[in-house]
Amino acid sequence: MEILKSIILGIIEGITEWLPISSTGHMILFDEFVTLNTSDAFKDMFFVVIQLGAIIAVILLFWNKLWPFHLKKTEVTPYFKKENAVTKLCNDYVYVDRFILWFKILLASLPAAILGLMFDDQIDAMLTGDLRAYIVAAALIVYGVLFIIIENIKIKGKIEDLGSLSYRTTFFIGLIQCLALVPGTSRSGSTILGAMLLGLSRTAAAEFSFFLSVPAMVGGSGIKVLQFFADGNTFNGMEIAILLVGTVTAFIVSVIAIKFLLSFIRKHDFKAFGYYRIVLGIIVILYFSLVN
């Protein structure tokens, strides 16, 4: 049963981490009905570490855009069979350009990383306190409404290529990502909304949101694991199996979810996700009001 629960949690993580509908909101509802029979320390760590499966999906799907050390000459200069001064210049440009993209990703990641470390205890309190469900529900509804409003305004993003992102725009997207520290906001939702308002197309906004997730989630997972062991906790065999199954499931489902989202937004807007968030937020409020 615990393995089955970890599979379900991996599916929820793989879908909700990338679609702008809040993984936290779904996890809270699921936890009310099916709870892992493990220690609280392991469960807290599990919910963060299975995100690594989702991150591996991003890295593999966008390998050619993110990895600067492996360049096919034909990608840049297909008309030359041998490297010469021109081909070397072109390939060096792409090599540098990908490092610049990573610099922008790290720049945009700094604000949330700093605030996350500063207010870690307060964020944990929001996730475990009596008001957590209502905080999550409010964030779901507010950002759902914002998605609908922004799409109704019909903002046309001019930036299609992430290489043309200015450092100023990059940093502002990073500041907007800080909103995701409030449970229920959705990291992908806040960054996509912010990027669209700053002039990125839907596809470019979604891709940059995926890229920003790499340092954010790797860093968050690393800190959680270190805290887990620093507090004197250890894994048993079943917990290792639960963690591995959940992570692998999150990876497989993330590949499908990312491909779906990129395909969906080429033909549709984000209003459907906005309506979904509002409905989910209302369900969370009604359920926890009746239970309490």
Residues with Cβ within 8 Å of residue 35, at least 6 apart in sequence: 43
- For 40-55, give the DSSP string: HHHHHHHHHHTHHHHH
Instruction: Give the number of other CB atoms < 10 A from CB of residue 223.
Output: 14
**What is the DSSP secondary structure assignment for residue 155, as one 8-state letter?**
-
Q: What is the pLDDT of residue 271?
A: 92
pLDDT tier at 124 (50, 70, 90 boundaries)? low
Domain count, the chain: 1
192 within a domain of the structure (yes/no): yes
Tell me the per-residue pLDDT of 8-56, one tens digit each, with 9 for 90 and over: 999 998 999 899 988 877 877 787 777 788 888 888 788 888 888 999 9
Cβ atoms of 199 and 158 within 8 Å: the answer is yes
Q: What is the mean pLDDT of residues 148-160?
A: 82
100 within a domain of the structure (yes/no): no
pTM of the predicted structure, to 2 decimals: 0.81
Tell me the per-residue pLDDT of 212-236, one tens digit each, with 9 for 90 and over: 988 888 887 888 888 888 888 888 8
Give residue 47's Cα distance to chain centre: 13
Structure tokens at 148: 């609908």
111 within a domain of the structure (yes/no): no
**C-alpha span between 106 and 115 (Å, rounded):** 15
Half-sphere exposure of 149 (CA within 13 A, CB side): 9
Q: What is the pLDDT of residue 254?
A: 95
The yes-or-no verdict on residue 146 having pLDDT over 80 is yes
**Higher per-residue confidence, 32 vs 104:** 104
Residue 79 Cα distances to 68, 74, 75, 87, 95, angstroms: 22, 8, 10, 9, 19
Range of the domain at 239: 2-63+120-291
Tell me the per-residue pLDDT of 68-80, one tens digit each, with 9 for 90 and over: 665 444 444 443 4
What are the start-end ranges of the H helices in 50-119? Answer: 51-61, 63-66, 73-76, 85-118
Tell me the per-residue pLDDT of 171-223, one tens digit each, with 9 for 90 and over: 999 999 988 888 888 888 889 988 988 989 888 999 999 999 888 888 878 88
pLDDT tier at 58 (50, 70, 90 boundaries)? very high
232 within a domain of the structure (yes/no): yes
245 within a domain of the structure (yes/no): yes
Q: What is the mean pLDDT of residues 134-159?
A: 87
Give residue 256's Cα distance to chain centre: 14
Give residue 146's Cα distance to chain centre: 19
The yes-or-no verdict on residue 248 having pLDDT over 50 is yes
Helix (H), strand (E) at residue 273: helix 271-291
Q: What is the pLDDT of residue 282?
A: 93
Task: Tell me what the pLDDT averaged over the chain comes to.
Answer: 82
178 within a domain of the structure (yes/no): yes
Among 239, 261, 241, CA closest to 249: 241
77 within a domain of the structure (yes/no): no
pLDDT tier at 108 (50, 70, 90 boundaries)? very high
